[in-house]
Amino acid sequence: MTIVEWLILLLIAGVCGAIAQALVGYSRGGCLAAVAVGFIGALLGAWLSRLAGLPELFLVDVGGARFPIVWSIIGAALFVAVLSLIGGRRRVG
């Protein structure tokens, strides 16, 4: 995987994390936090979809790495919701 492909994956994860934070209405941190939330959401969402036997929706293949966009947003939204319950409510401005 090249540097450009890695940066594209970071960009996709950041957008998915930002969408999830906007859906939940909770934001802690900036761009790097959104990227981290997007990657954690991809792991959590893909795991939940496999556990439930659901298909992978809207996969993006970047340099041999498959990134599930829909499950990333769903997993990140669940992760951010849990974070907001634990850490207190902070509105997106």
| Phi, psi of 58, rounded to the nearest 5 degrees | 50, 70
- Give per-residue pLDDT as tens, 34-72: 888 888 888 898 899 999 999 888 888 888 888 889 988
Judged by DSSP in three states, 59 sits in: strand
Total-model pTM: 0.82
Contact 41, 75 (CB under 8 A): yes
Rounded distance between C-alpha atoms, residue 26 and residue 84, angstroms: 7
d(Cα 65, Cα 62) in Å, to the nearest integer?
Answer: 5
How many angstroms separate the CA atoms of 26 and 18, rounded?
Answer: 10
